[in-house]
Amino acid sequence: MQMKLAPWALLAVAAMWGISFVWMKDILDQQEVYSFLTSRFIVAAAAMIALRPSVLKRFTKELVMKGLMIGMALGSGYIFQTLGLDRTTPAITGFITGLYVVFTPLLASIFLKERLTKAMWGYVFLAVLGLGILSVEGWSVGLGEIFVLISAVLFAIHIILLGSWSKNFDAYALTVMQLIGCALLASIPASINGFVAPPDTHVWAVIIFTALFATAIAFVIQTWSQARISTTKVAVILTMEVVFAALFSFMYGMEPFTLRLALGGTLVLIAMLAIVQPRVPSSSQS
């Protein structure tokens, strides 16, 4: 039952990330991005500890070390993605970030010895094709694109580390520790640039939503799910974030509904639905 539930729980995570991306665009000109990330991860970790203080008793030396490593990979991904976004378009940033759907199975096959069938590679290719149609109108390779490509590798590493270690620890405690790692890492550039506090209630509302729903709840679900399904399936399902971001952007009147959006989103959706279907084993009986 839990294995059947995990893919759909991850789809809910992708939806939360998609709508948070749309809302974040409205406030990042009011609060410096590293300050926003620091605020988001501190609020998320603090809320989780306040909700369940007993989680601190689960912080073993191994959990703290591995949780911080997972958090550093995730936080580094956000930082390189932001550096790239400053130098290229949001559409190109979304597409290149989505390439973690390629890097994840490659790294999983090397480090986790996950066997990838031709069908699974086909779903990965279909997701990448959909992301490309959805996001890319023009193309050039510069420093911004390289930074975002690094972030895609780091997001893939984050998924790989979770896939490798989530089975061994309490999902709640591991999530808290990785959020602390993200907050510590984001606070370094925030301190260098000068931390900017949230200026008004609107910014605070976005921080609280992204901290509680798109961060705390989302990463608990991801950590729990990755103990139950393969890393490649996780990567393909989470590419739906880009589709949800486009749909919510259309619903909020931020961009028109186009054939490109419909076709690209449909291909990613087909890949996601195909990869979560349970495989029916072939009978060996004659």
Q: Cβ distance 91 to 55 under 8 Å?
A: no
Residues 6+ apart with CB under 8 A from 200: 30
Residue with tokens 């997701």: 127
Number of neighbouring beta carbons within 10 Å of residue 71: 28
Residue 283: per-residue pLDDT: 40
Amino acid residing at 45: A
Are the C-beta atoms of 54 and 167 separated by less than 8 Å?
no
> How far apart are alpha carbons 51 and 278 in whole angstroms?
35
> Any idea which of 74-78, 88-92, 109-113, 223-227 has the lowest mean pLDDT?
88-92
Measured between alpha carbons, how far is residue 10 from residues 190, 197, 201, 221, 240 in Å? 30, 31, 30, 7, 10
pLDDT tens-digit readout, 12-24: 998 888 787 777 7
Q: Where is average pLDDT lowest: 64-78, 180-194, 260-274? A: 260-274
Looking at residue 89, what is its pLDDT?
A: 64
Distance CA 96, CA 94 (A): 6
**Position 52 confidence tier, pLDDT thresholds 50, 70, 90:** very high
Exposure of 248 by Cβ count < 10 A (0-12 exposed, 13-18 middle, 19+ buried)? middle
Cβ atoms 98, 131 nearer than 8 A: yes
Q: Is the pTM here over 0.85, yes or no?
A: no
Contact 181, 67 (CB under 8 A): yes
Nearest in space to 33 (alpha carbons), one of 91, 73, 77, 86: 86
In sequence order, which residues have a C-beta less than 8 Å from that of residue 184 and are 6 or more positions away?
68, 71, 75
pLDDT of res. 227: 83
Q: Using one digit for the tens of pLDDT, what is the confidence trace for 133-168? A: 866 665 556 787 788 889 989 999 999 998 888 888
% of the chain surpassing 70 pLDDT: 88
Name the residue among 80, 233, 223, 51 with its Cα closest to residue 147: 80
Q: How far is CA 123 from CA 69, 173, 235, 255, in A?
A: 29, 33, 11, 28
Distances (CA, A) of 51 to 43, 44, 55, 179: 12, 11, 9, 15
Q: Is the pLDDT of residue 284 over 50?
A: no
Share of the chain above pLDDT 90, in %: 31
